[in-house]
Structures are given as structure tokens and as C-alpha cells.
Amino acid sequence: MVEENKNAAVEAEFDWDAFENEDAGFTASRAELEAQYDKTLSTVAEKEVIDGIVISMNKREVVINIGYKSDGIVSLNEFRYNPELTVGDTVEVYVESQEDKKGQLVLSHKKARALRSWDRVNSALENDEIIKGYIKCRTKGGMIVDVFGIEAFLPGSQIDVKPIRDYDIYVGKTMEFKVVKINHEFKNVVVSHKALIEAELEQQKKEIIAKLEKGQVLEGTVKNITSYGVFIDLGGVDGLIHITDLSWGRVSHPSEIVELDQKLNVVILDFDDDKKRIALGLKQLTPHPWDALDAEMKVGDRVTGKVVVMADYGAFVEIAPGVEGLIHVSEMSWSQHLRSAQDFMKVGDEVQAQIITLDREERKMSLGLKQLKQDPWEGVEAKYAVNSKHSAKVRNFTNFGVFVEIEEGVDGLIHISDLSWTKKVKHPAEFTQIGAEIEVVVLEIDKENRRLSLGHKQLEENPWDVFETIFATDSTHEGTIVEIFEKGAVVALPYGVEGFATPRHLVKEDGSQAKVEEKLSFKVIEFSKAAKRIILSHSRTFEDVKRAEVSEKKKSESANTKKGVKKVKDSLEKTTLGDISELAALKSQLEKGEE
């Protein structure tokens, strides 16, 4: 109790305000004691970089002893690049202040690294030194690495010898690097981790390459997959399996067969003289599918397969892995019309077909679809007998006729002259159109060439038998001019018949020329049933009338002259001799009039 009272008295006498303002006075004995104490400590200068020892650590701070009267405290964040830091490690620190207001030694590890960083980086490059760095974050094309407090660039291609698929797994890691480039002007540093392992791999690579032989089977790891093939790591040496050497069957993309990091056996197919390019094979480790094909399979057998490739000329069908047959477009249908294979099937379709040819030595096979259906030309004489009537579909035109299809595989031709009895068809497009339905009658069967001769007009009776009586020569009919060209005009007559008139027969009574759409009277001057031709004339309708009138007048005058001569002859028999001279004169006059 007495001791407590004594301490309280001493505490009451101490000038705390003066101590906080650093104005407290000390006795000479106190100053001497401090001087003696300072002699036992190392001399530390501010703004200097020195080494210290880590004496303790917690989650936030690192306590460092530099041999000074007090220890310094540095934030753990400044050592983030070095997660392996432990008590007892020697670290460099920068003395910012020997003591602050609270008497604490102020140190910085970050500033110490920054002051020495460029010297260390340059030294590392010159001496090919291996250094440690902390990967801070990702950036475009690579990573940012903390090296001695400097932000260095680590290209993505320099992280590892194999392509990196996930850069994020490296963020926050501390790794070893080599300085490969320094740009002093822009203060840029480039580092590489790949360079550390390349030297070791190069030695392994030489050992592997020296042992390579064609036909050798090795285990490898899928390193990269491209559209044209797969790169395999053979233990420091890369080889390529081309897409065609992955499988005996067709492969759209190598990822269908292998996946990244997959281990598999491969066979060496070839390599260059320096063994830098190594061609590998995967399918060669299994027997060729054609060798395992059923020995009993023969022409005429039915097979089922999957369409793997389409072309305009046909489809390739895989009937077993690596065994394909071609179905030519001409073998897909009995129809003779040119069509694309895509009209019948598409990739992925499962189809049934019949083997047409089979060559095991050449490993080729052709297939057919239409062979699974009955040939429509078998028994065609009964189904499409001559004079039988059918409905057909217009498929194509030519200048001389229309090609039609009665059913798939059964085609026929309607000649242009067999389209209509009455209409003059210049081109089939005037009469029908592609895709239209048209009624036909079978005129002739050409089984050898698989073609029918068809007619359309034969569905009706020949109207020219009737027209022969209606449009007889010299008969007159009313007609309309529908077309005029250099050689004449087409005239539409009753009953849908057309006639023809030459330019000189189109002259009207007033001397003018007839025009299109003019309705006039026409006289038939020629009728040909065989040629289905009617020649007309408008001019004849009034010219013939004039000729008739002239003829009648001449006939009347001739009759009057004959009557006068008869009268004279009768009077001569009764006249006297004295009247003979007068009668002679009268006779002469009458004869002149007759002439």
C-alpha cells in the first residue's frame, strides 16, 4: 500500500504535457546514460537502404530489426510478391525516419526495392540470372509481373512451352523468370518463364529425335487442336496428326476424335531430314475397314448407310466406319431430268441402297437408290398404250416441242405441230408453261431410248375436215387483222381459225392499206387441208365485183350489135337495086361499131 502511494506521488510530479511536446528537460545524468546506450547500437542514417532481419510477422505487418534502438514495422502488402517470406529472412529496407513523434523507426521495403530495382534488373540480364517475380494481373497479350518493384511484361507465349488456355490460373503466383529484354528509354522490362525450361527441353528433344524411326509407336499428349490436324507432345518434341490420318472414316473436325491433354498412342509416318517436322498417324494403328468388310458382300446386296458428304453429282454414303460408296445422282431416280443430289437427300440422312459395283482392290463401291424401285419402263406398252390418254407435267421447252413427265422416269415429247389444230404456235411458251399439267395422248413408244411421242391436239377431232366445207375457195368471210409484218398479215377468222393475206391483197377499195385490228371481208383464194393453210384476199372482194360488171356490159353490147346486123341482112333481101349503095354504107358503119 505504501509502495502504491509512492508511485502515485512520482506520477503526479511528472510533466506529461512537456513530454508530449518533446520539451521535457532531462538532467545531466540522464543525458549521459542515453549517450552510453547509443554507443551499444548501430548507426543508422536516414534516406539509406540497409538490410534487416524479419523477427516477427502477423496478418498485417512484418517487424524488422536493423540493429537500431527500435525495430521497424512494414506492411505485409509490400511483401506480397514473396509469399514464402518467413521469420529470419534478410530483407532490404529504406530508412525514411529514425523515429517519428512516437519514437517509432519508419521503414519501407517497397522504396528500397525501387531504388535498387534497375540495378538488379540490368545485372540479371547481363548475368543471365534467374530471378523471382510476382504475377499481379492479366493484360493484353500476357501478364504483368512485379520484379524488384518494377512492373515487367510477361508475354503469353513466354509463360510455358505449351499453349496456355487459362491465363487466370497464373495470377497471384510467384514464379522464376529470366529477363530477356530491357528498353531503357521507355523503362520497359520483358521477362520469360519459358526460357528457363527450354534449355532442359532442348536436351530432352535431342535425345528423343535421335531415337525416332518411321513406324515407331510412341505415347503422346494432345497439345493443340486445329481445323487441319492435332499437335501431339511426344515429350519435348511436337508432331502433327493430319486430319486425314485421325480416322479411316470422314472427320469434319479433329475435336470429334480427340480432346486436349488426352494421352494416346501414335505411329511415326514420316519426318524431314532435321526431324523438325514429324508426321504422325492414329488410324494406322487399327486395320483398314475395307480389310474387315464382310467377305460375303456382293453386287446386288442391299446396304444401309449414313450420308457423310454431298456434291452436285452425288452423295457419299458410309456403310461402315471408313467404308464409303458413291450414289451418283443418275442412280437416285429413274427420271432422266438433270437434278442435283441435294434434291434427294442431305448430310446425316440414313438411306438404303443397292450395291452396283464393288472393287475391293481399289476400295471403291458405287450404290444406287432407284434400283430399289421397279423400273417404270417395264410393261410400258400395257400401261401407256398407243392412243391412251394421260395427264403429264411440263418439264422443259425447246424450239421444236415440249418435254413432259407422265410419272417419274417416264418422259415424252409433244412436238410443236401436235399442240394445236388451229393455232400457229411459234414457241411452246406461247401455249403452256413449265410445271403446268397438260393432257396428252400416246402417239408412239420408243422403248429403246425410253421416250414417248405424245400429242395434245389429238385429244380432239381434226376440225380441218369441217373447215374444208366452210372455208371453200371463193367463199367470203369476215375477219380481223391481228398481226401485220413484212410478208403479209395474220387474219382471225370464225371458229378460231387463222388465215394469211399478202400485202397486195390488203389494199382497200380507196387504195389505202388495211391496218391491225381492222375488221374486213376476205375471200378465200386458197385452202390447203394438208398444210392447214388458208390464203385470203380483201382486194378480191371488190375487184371481182368490178370484173363481173364489166363482163356483163360487154355481153349486153355484143348482143345489141348482133341484133343490128341481123336486121340489116333481113332488109337487104327486100331492098331495090337503087338502095344497095346506102345499105352498103350502113353495113360498113355497123361493122365498125361492132369492132
pTM for the full model?
Answer: 0.41
The CA distances from residue 390 to 412, 427, 441, in Å, are 11, 23, 6
454 neighbors 418 (Cβ within 8 angstroms): yes
Domain boundaries, the chain: 2-113, 128-197, 211-285, 302-372, 380-459, 464-537, 544-594
Query: DSSP letter at 434?
Result: T
Domain 380-459, CATH homologous superfamily name and number: Nucleic acid-binding proteins (2.40.50.140)
The CATH code that applies to domain 2-113 is: 2.40.50.140
Most distant CA pair in the chain: distance in Å?
A: 224
**Number of Cα atoms under 13 Å in the Cβ half of residue 299:** 8
**Amino acid occupying residue 275:** K
Which residues, at least 6 apart from 208, have a Cβ–Cβ distance to it below 8 Å?
234, 235, 236, 237
Buried b or exposed e, range 545-567, using 16+ CB within 10 angstroms:
eeeeeeeeeeeeeeeeeeebeee
Rounded CA gap, 120 and 122, in Å? 5
209 neighbors 275 (Cβ within 8 angstroms): yes
Residue 49 in grid coordinates: 537502404
- The CATH fold of domain 128-197: OB fold (Dihydrolipoamide Acetyltransferase, E2P) (2.40.50)
Q: What length is written for the chain?
A: 595
User: CA torsion sign, 72 to 76 to 78 to 83?
Assistant: positive
Q: Which of 76, 72, 95 is nearest to 86 (CA)?
A: 76
Please check whether the two domains, 2-113 and 464-537, share a CATH topology: yes
Buried b or exposed e, range 238-270, using 16+ CB within 10 angstroms:
bbbbebebbbbbebeebeebbeeeeebebbbbe
3-state SS assignment for residue 78: helix
pLDDT tens profile 60-109: 888 888 777 778 888 888 887 778 888 888 888 888 776 767 767 788 87
Q: Which CATH architecture has domain 211-285?
A: Beta Barrel (2.40)
**Amino acid occupying residue 450:** R
Q: What is the pLDDT of residue 563?
A: 63
Per-residue pLDDT of the chain (595 residues; tens, 9 = 90+): 444 554 555 455 556 565 555 544 544 466 666 666 555 555 566 677 778 888 888 888 888 887 777 788 888 888 877 788 888 888 888 887 767 677 677 888 777 777 777 778 888 888 888 888 888 888 888 889 888 778 889 888 888 877 777 888 888 888 888 888 888 777 788 888 888 777 677 777 777 777 778 888 888 899 889 989 999 888 778 889 999 888 887 888 898 888 988 899 998 888 876 656 888 998 888 888 887 778 788 888 888 888 888 888 888 988 887 888 898 988 887 776 667 788 788 888 888 888 888 888 888 889 988 888 877 777 777 777 888 888 888 888 888 888 888 877 788 888 888 787 667 778 888 888 888 888 888 888 887 777 888 888 777 777 776 777 778 888 888 888 888 888 888 988 888 788 899 888 888 888 888 888 888 889 888 888 777 788 888 888 888 778 877 777 776 666 666 665 566 566 555 554 445 566 566 666 666 655 5
Q: What is the pLDDT of residue 577?
A: 47
Domain 464-537, CATH homologous superfamily name and number: Nucleic acid-binding proteins (2.40.50.140)
Strand partners, 108: 94
Classify domain 302-372 at the CATH class level: mainly beta
307 neighbors 347 (Cβ within 8 angstroms): yes
492 neighbors 480 (Cβ within 8 angstroms): yes
